[in-house]
Amino acid sequence: MKTLLKEPLLHFVVAAALIFAGYSWWSAKQARADSTIFISSADMERMGALYTAEAGSLPNAQDIQGMIADHVRNEALSREARKLGLDEGDTIIERRLAQKMTFMISDLAEDNTPDDQALQEWFAANQNTFEAPARISFKHIYLSQSNETRATTMLQALNSNDANDWRKMGDAFMLQREYVDLPSRETVRLFGVDFRSTVFELQARNDWQGPVTSALGTHLVKIERLEPASIPEFEAIRPRVEAQWQEENRKRQNAKSIGEIVSRYHVELEGMDRK
C-alpha cells in the first residue's frame, strides 16, 4: 500500500494546497493558541491510506477536499466537546465526541415555521423535488418467447375489425394484463428499464402497438393514457412542502452552527504557506 500511495500522495499534497486557497475564511478569524488545527503530512498520508482502503480507489481533488474538511470539522467539534468537560484521546472517542456535539446541535435547531410567502418562494425554487412521476395506463399481451411472426400476426388480428378477446390472447402473464395510472418507476420495478423507456415514448392510441421488449419477454401494448411528469399545485401538497422545508431548515441550521464552530479554528497544513 505504501508503494501504491507514493505517487498519489504527491498529487494529494499538491491538490490539497490548491484547495486550501478556498479555506481562507478560516484564517480571517483571530488565531489563538488553542484554535489552530494543524494537519501534518503524516496526517494527510493516513487520510489518503484510509480513503484508499475504504473506498477502493485513490482520492481525487474533491475527495481530498472532503477529507480535510471532515477532519477539520471533527477536530473542531471534538475540541468544542472537550471544552464542555469531556476528555479522552483516541480516534473513536474523538469521532464520538464530534457526533455527540452534532446531535446536540441538531437538538438545538429551532423549529421555525416559514410564512406563506417564504414557503411559496422556496417551493418555486425547489419544485423539482415535488415532481409527480409520469404515469401510464395500458393493456398488454405477453409473449414469453420472442417470435416476430407470431407477434405480427397477433397485432394484425388485434387491429382488424374481427372480434378478438385480447384477454385470452398470448401467453399467461403471472401478474396483471392491465395497469391503470402506473407510475414510471413502477414500470421499471415490474418490467425493467428498457420497457419503461420504450412505452413512455409511445403515443396513447386506440390500436395495439409493439412488439415492445422487456426483461420478461415481448409485449403487444395498447396505451390508454399517458400522463407526463408534472409539478403539483402548491396548495395541494402544502404539508409535504412544509415538512421538506423543515428538514432543509434543520440541515441548514446545523451546517451553520457547525460552520460557526469550525470558523473559530485556524487551520495550518504542514509544508504549506497559510493563505
Partner 1 sequence: MIKYLSMASAAVVLVACSGGETPAQPDADTSASVLTDAAADTETRTAGYSETRNAYFGDMHIHTRNSFDAYIFNVRRTADDAYRFAKGETIDHPSGFDMTIAGGPLDFYTVTDHAEYLGILPSMNTPGTRLSELPRAKDMFSTDQDKILAAFQGVGASVRSGNPIDEMNDQGEMNSVWAQNVAAAEAHNEPGVFTTFSAYEFTSVTSMNEGSDNFGGGNLHRNVFFKGAAPDQAFSTLNSPNPEDLWDWMDDQRAAGFESIAIPHNSNVSNGQMFRLETYNGDPLDAAYADQRMRNEPLVEATQVKGTSETHPDLSPNDEWADFEIYDRLLGVYDVSATKGSYIREAYQNGLKLQEDKGFDPFRFGLVAASDSHVVGGAYAEEDYWSKVGIVDGSPITRGSVPFPGSPDWDNQPDNRIVTNAREWFSRWSASGLTGVWAEENTRDAIFDAFRRKETFATTGPRMKVRFFAGYDLGDVDVASAELAKTAYETGVPMGADLLGDGKTPSFLVWAMRDPNTAALQRAQVVKVTSTGEAVYDVSCHVGTPDPVTHRCADNGAAVDMTTCTATGEGAAELKTVWTDPDFDPASRATYYVRVMENPTCRWSTWEALRNGTPPRPDVPQTIQERAYTSPIWYIPASE
DSSP alpha helix (H) spans, the chain: 2-21, 24-27, 41-55, 61-83, 91-108, 116-125, 148-159, 184-191, 193-199, 238-263
For residue 192 the three cell numbers come to 425493467
Question: Burial, 136: exposed, middle or buried (Cβ in 10 Å; 0-12, 13-18, 19+)?
Answer: buried
Least distance in angstroms from the C-beta of 46 to partner 1: 9
Least distance in angstroms from the C-beta of 168 to partner 1: 5
Nearer to partner 1, 34 or 181 (CB): 181
Nearer to partner 1, 171 or 260 (CB): 171
Residue 17 binds partner 1, judged by CB under 8 A: no
**What is the x/- site pattern for partner 1, positions 126-165, by CB under 8 A?**
---------------x--x---------------------
Q: Compute the CA torsion angle 145, 149, 153, 154 (nearest 10 deg).
A: 10
For residue 43 the three cell numbers come to 496526517
- Residue 180's H or E segment, with its range, is strand 178-183
Instruction: Dihedral sign for Cα 58, 62, 64, 67, please.
Output: negative
Q: Which positions from 200 through 219 interact with partner 1, judged by CB under 8 A?
A: 214-217
* Segment near partner 1 (CB under 8 A); pick from 177-185, 222-230, 233-241, 257-265: 177-185
Residue 42 binds partner 1, judged by CB under 8 A: no
Give the count of residues interacting with partner 1 (CB under 8 A). 48
Q: Give the residue, chosen from 43, 63, 186, 227, that forms a contact with partner 1 under the rule CB under 8 A.
A: 186
Nearer to partner 1, 33 or 163 (CB): 163
Q: Which positions from 84 through 123 interact with partner 1, judged by CB under 8 A?
A: 86-88, 90-93, 96-97, 99, 103
* Segment near partner 1 (CB under 8 A); pick from 19-27, 37-45, 48-56, 152-160: 48-56
Q: Which residues contact 33 (CB under 8 A, 6 or more apart)?
A: none
Residue 171 binds partner 1, judged by CB under 8 A: yes
* Segment near partner 1 (CB under 8 A); pick from 14-22, 50-58, 153-161, 221-229: 50-58
Write the CA distances from 18 to 22, 64, 141, 186, 270, integer angstroms. 8, 11, 60, 46, 14
Residue 169 binds partner 1, judged by CB under 8 A: yes
Instruction: Dihedral sign for Cα 213, 131, 204, 137, please.
Output: positive
Least distance in angstroms from the C-beta of 114 to partner 1: 20
β-strands 36-39, 209-214: how paired?
A: unpaired
Contact 254, 102 (CB under 8 A): yes
Least distance in angstroms from the C-beta of 21 to partner 1: 26
Kindly list the residues in this chain that would bind partner 1 in the complex (CB under 8 A): 1, 4, 49-50, 53-57, 86-88, 90-93, 96-97, 99, 103, 141, 144, 167-177, 180-181, 185-186, 188-193, 195, 214-217
